[in-house]
Structure formats: C-alpha cells, structure tokens
Amino acid sequence: MDEKKLPEGLKKQLGYLYTLDFYRKKMDRAGISPRDILSLKDFEGVPFTTHGEFVKEMDRNNPPYGSFFPPGVVRINLTPSGDHLLPIFHTAKDLEFMHQVCHRSLEAAGVTRNDVCAVTFGYHLFIAGLFYQGQIETYGAKVIPLGPGETSRAVDIINRHNVTVLVANPSFALKLASSGMNRIRILFAGGEPLTSVPGYKDRIRQALGQELVIIDSYSMSECIPIARNCAMETGLHIMDEFVYAEIIDPETGKTLENGHIGELVLTHMKKEAQPLLRYRTGDLAELVETPCKCGRYMTMPRGISGRTDEMLKVKGVKLYPSQIKTIIEEHGIGTGFRLTIRSEKGADRLTLTLKDTSGARSKTESLRHALRKATLLNFNEIVFSDRLEEGPRFSDEREMEKRK
C-alpha cells in the first residue's frame, strides 16, 4: 500500500496548491516540493492542515481571505465556527464538479428524473439546502426547496405534490412520518448520526416503510461532499474522485492501515476555492476496501464514531468513550453509561456503570467480551444502577488521586 503511485488527480492538485501562498510556505518549511511527491508514501510527508491554521489564513486581509479566495468565486456560504460565521467559497467550476460527483451517488441511490424531491435543510446562509438542490436540479429530477421546520405545512406539501425523495435530518423524517406524511421511496439523511447508531435505520423503516432506501451521508462545510452510502447500504463510500481520505493515529500522525480506527484526514482532489490539504477533521472513523456493485470501494463501514478530543489513555491503550456507546447500543442496553477510571497501586482500573434496564444484567459477560475485543481493555467492573447521574460520560480520577 505504501508504494502505491500517487493518483494523477492528486498530483495535479498538489501542483495547484503550491501556487497558493499558504500551502507553498507549509511545503517549503517541510523541505517538500510537489515534484518530489511520486507515491502515497511520499504524500504522507506533506504537513497536516489544522482547523486553527485554516481559520487564521481566512482572517488575513491581503489578499482577502488569505490564499483561499480566487477571482472565480461565485458563492459564499457561511457556517458557524466558534463565536462567528466562517465563509465557505465555491467557484463555478467547484460547483459544477461537486454536482457531477453527486450525480453518481444519486444514480446509485435509485433517484430518477421523474422523482419529486423535497429538501428540508436550511437555505439561509448555510450550505446544505443549496447543496442538495443544486445537485438534484442538474441531475434532472424535480426539487421543492422546503427548508426546515413547519411540520404540518411540510407534510401537506409533500403529500399534495407526491414527493418520492426526502432530504432531511433523520429525526425530522420521523416527525414528518408521525404527522401523516405519505410513504416515500428514498430518504437522504444527514446532519445527525445515523449509520453509527445501531437500530436507527430499522426504526426509520418501521415508520416510513420497509422498502425505503436510506442514504446516509457525511460532510463538513469545509469539504462537501465526502461520503455517502448507496442503495446496497454497505457503508458510507468515500467520493474518491472529489476527496482523498486517510486515517491517522491522532497522537503520532502516522498513517494507519485500513481497518484501524483513527482520525480522518482529507485532501481535495479538485478544488479551486478554499482547497484542503491533509486537513485534520478531528473525527474518528475507519476505512475498509469493500468493492460494491455501485462501483465504489473505499468505505467507512460505521460512519463517524467519535471525536479525537475525547481520547483517553488507559493501561497504555487509546480509548474513545464513543466506542463504548456503540457497543452497549448493539447489545440493546440503551445509550446511557458512566465510565470511571481510577488508579490502584499504580494500575488503571475501569468501572462501567449502566442503567439497570430489563434483561441488561444477563448480557454482562457478552458485553464484557465485546468491550475487550473492541478496545483491547479489560473492564474491571460492570455495575448497574437505577439512575445515572447527569454530567460527563466519563470521569478520570487518576490525576486527583496523584494530588492526594
């Protein structure tokens, strides 16, 4: 894998990025030139870009927005970032290519030119509503720009105009179904965890119909689109003609082999305005190569499983509390838990407290085995309580014990 040749699109993009002041300085400081990057192994030597660096460059006034605002910008979306709104730029070519990439996924989802699609994502400032409307329109299907909220009005419009494809948050789709929405063929979901939540798709199909095709997606305002599943629902496929994805160890920055959980890092394969180069998303995922009938192969089987800023080091092993949440959900023990980490005679001790629901105690040993297999850690105690205290999901008491 390390000696794979650098994809031609990525090679061309590196040449473009080197013309931008921000990336040229980063590569020069690292002693790297695009002409020296011939393999994916070479590419691993290119410096990462962090969100902080990205925002700082956007704050430069000369030229406006640093290196990220070429003359051809035609759209400026805004997205929340801390206490302000961060501009997101697209040129006409960026929008055209973005729509082309999405056409492939619309076709793989089973959308036809005869479908009537309703988009319930926001249109005011933010990117999601126009993103879906643009790709559907250029694909040739019909689209109704509904926007968020107004449940009863949305249900009336969807039913009156025979909408067959819905674009919505999963929770809003359920709300529409409970308010009398007619059955639809395809749901494009986003904005909330879905694939990473065991049983959520089953719950949606119980409300909207067992034949429903559910298309989950993962994107960021800085990079849209990134991944979607197809009608086969084998995982979220990386849209690899648009973005190159890597998984790294969040601590060392070392690239991990497929099948290992780590931080997702993204590079635009073709982007004029505000392009990303080895951008650290802070999101945890794993990549696997699973050839699919739709033609794609690089997949995130469970979507996003957590954030790097929640990482703990226990018994010398990296532990992400989101892993625990996924496992207890898979065992049908709910979603609530409290993890306590203590140190006894220099050894870390893990106590997992779960809500005492019906049948939960009988699953203790299978849960313990699943936790050890997924985290490589032995949970010293798994206890049950009638009530879980409010607050953080985990408590690391080791530092407090050191100060005693």
| pLDDT confidence of residue 382 | 92
pLDDT at 264: 97
Domain boundary among 308, 336, 370: 308
pTM: 0.82
Are 183 and 105 found together in one domain?
A: yes
**How many domains is the chain partitioned into structurally?**
2
- Please check whether residue 159 lies inside any domain of the structure: yes
| Last-in-domain residue among 252, 284, 308 | 308
**Cα angle 205, 221, 194; round to 5:** 20
Residue-number span of the structural domain to which 247 is assigned: 89-308
Instruction: Give yes or no for a contact between 89 and 266, defined as CB atoms under 8 angstroms apart.
Output: no
- Asked which of 261, 281, 308 is the last residue of a domain, the reply is 308
Q: Please indicate, yes or no, whether residues 270 and 320 belong to a single structural domain of this protein.
A: no
98 lies in the same domain as 228: yes
Residues 276 and 169 in one domain: yes
Distance, in Å, from the CA atom of 387 to the CA atom of 130, rounded to the nearest integer, reads 44
Percent of the chain whose pLDDT exceeds 70: 97
Per-residue pLDDT, averaged over 132-157, amounts to 95
CA torsion, points 300, 302, 304, 306, in degrees to nearest 10?
A: -130
Say if 41 falls within a structural domain. no
Out of 2-6, 12-16, 30-34, 91-95, least confident range = 2-6
Q: Among all chains, which residue has been given the structure tokens 């997924």?
A: 374
pLDDT band, residue 399 (cuts 50/70/90): low
Q: Are residues 242 and 344 in the same domain?
A: no
Same domain, 114 and 226: yes
**353/288 same-domain check:** no
User: What pLDDT score does 358 carry?
Assistant: 82
Name the 3-class secondary structure at 281.
strand
